[in-house]
Amino acid sequence: MPAGRLPLVIAFFAAALIGGLAAVAWLVPTQRPAAPGPMAQNAAIGGPFTLVDVNGRTVTDADFRGRYMLIYFGYAYCPDVCPMSLARNAAALDLLGEKADRIQPILITVDPERDTPQVLEGYVEAFHPRLIALTGTPEQIAAAAKAYRVYYAKAQSDGAAEDYLVDHSSFTYLMGPDGKFLQFFRHEISAEQMAERLKSAL
C-alpha cells in the first residue's frame, strides 16, 4: 500500500475500535438504567399494613415483630409469575433448614376482589405449609402495595368481566424482626441464590 494512505487506514481502524467499544458499553446490561423498582429508596420500603388472613381475622405488620417477613405481592389466578416466585421462595426456605423458622413467608394479594380468604387458603397450601396469605378491602391492599412500592393494575381482558389478569411487580421483600426493610429479591434469581442471601442476612 502507498505510504500516504497509512494514516487513513489507522484512522479508520481507530474509529471502528472506538465505535465498537461504545456499542459494547451500551449493550452490557449492568450499564443500562435499571427498571423502576425498589432500588431507589430502600429506606422508604415497607410500613404499617392492616389486612385480613384466611380465617377472616385482622392482621397487622406489628403481629410479625420478632420474626423476619418474606413478603410477596401476587394473586391466586396469576398464570405464571406468582406460582414461580412463590415456589422459588418456598424452595429457598427449605434450603435454609431450621434457620427458616425465623422467617415468616407472606403473600399479599393484589387481586382482593377474587382472592377471598377461602380462595387464598386453598392456594397457599400448595406452596409452603407456613405461607400466610393476606387479603383485605381494595383500599387496604392499595395502602399495603403503596407502602412497599408495588405496582399492580388490572390488565385488559377480552373475555368475561371476572376473567382478567393483573399486571404487577414481582419482587420479594425481606423485612427485619423490627419490621424494617432489609433487601429485595428479583423474580429472576434462583432458590439457591436466594437461600445464600437469606443465610447471610439472618
Please give the residues from 102 up to 141 whose contact with Ni ion meets the rule CB under 5 A.
none
In the bound state, the residue with its beta carbon closest to Ni ion is 78
Nearer to Ni ion, 109 or 140 (CB): 109
CB of 91 to Ni ion, least distance (A): 17
Provide the terminal-to-terminal Cα distance of the chain, rounded to the nearest Å: 68
- Count residues contacting Ni ion (CB under 5 A)? 4
Which position among 51, 59, 71, 78 is part of the footprint of Ni ion (CB under 5 A)?
78
Under rule CB under 5 A, residue 82 binds Ni ion: yes
Using CB under 5 A, which of the segments 6-14, 22-30, 70-78, 156-164 binds Ni ion?
Answer: 70-78
Under rule CB under 5 A, residue 81 binds Ni ion: yes
CB of 43 to Ni ion, least distance (A): 26
**Rounded to 5 degrees, what are φ and ψ at 179?**
85, 0
> Which amino acid is located at 87 in the chain?
A
Distance CA(54)–CA(113), nearest Å, equals 14
Those residues with Cβ within 8 angstroms of residue 54's Cβ, 6 or more apart along the chain or in another chain: 117, 118, 120, 121, 124, 132, 133
Which position among 46, 74, 105, 112 is part of the footprint of Ni ion (CB under 5 A)?
74
Those residues with Cβ within 8 angstroms of residue 135's Cβ, 6 or more apart along the chain or in another chain: 51, 52, 108, 109, 112, 115, 116, 117, 120, 141
Where along the sequence are the contacts to Ni ion (CB under 5 A)? 74, 78, 81-82
